[in-house]
Amino acid sequence: MNIDLYSYAWYSAGVVWFLAIAEFIGMHLFLKPAYMSGLKIYSQFSDLPRPSDNKILSETITMDEGKFKFISLDECLFTSKWHVFEFRLRTPFSIKGSVSWNAQGAEIIGRLPIGTTLFVFFWLVGWTAGIFYGMKTIFLLTGWVFIAVIIALSIPTEKKRMEQMVEELKLILTNK
């Protein structure tokens, strides 16, 4: 069976779409493996106070922007809460955050979801391969510009949300 690049890319994008859905569910259930993959786009060392009360482990804390879950006294996972009936820019790259405390302080990491990142990659490959099927160059450029605009709007928006969630985490840790 001869599968060309165009078909392979679109089939891969379809398969990866299911990975993106599973990753989204894993993020909102605070499953640690969902937080350990993806492109790191935010990294900061901080003097965040380490939680000391075990009661914080039994709850999911929801703030204006973020949802936080301490999986141990040395580790916290967080993501943007799901805003259902609110007008806001929705992006395909909802950053997933993690904090690990060690002797030097707290390391805060934000990662792009691997599922949507791979979906965009395969979409671009499929779109680009379409040029070999007689699509015009304007077709190719339209797809590239479309993805460039999505990325240009999404990444800064999600970094700003990440910074807001870090501030919310500081509030949680100083008020507990």
Write out the residue range of the structural domain in which residue 40 sits. Answer: 5-175
Average of per-residue pLDDT across 126-137: 77
Q: Is the pLDDT of residue 120 over 80?
A: yes
Average of per-residue pLDDT across 75-100: 85
Among residues 124, 159, 158, 114, which one has the least CA distance to residue 22?
114
CB 41 within 8 A of CB 110: yes
CA dist., res. 37 & res. 35, Å (int): 6
Place of tokens 């993020």: 27
CB 158 within 8 A of CB 42: no
Number of helices (H) and strands (E) in the chain: give both, helices first.
4, 6
Residue 2: pLDDT band with limits 50, 70, 90: very low
**Domain count along the chain:** 1
CA dist., res. 27 & res. 95, Å (int): 10
pLDDT tens-digit profile of 23-50? 999 999 999 999 999 999 999 999 889 8
pLDDT (0 to 100) of residue 176: 59
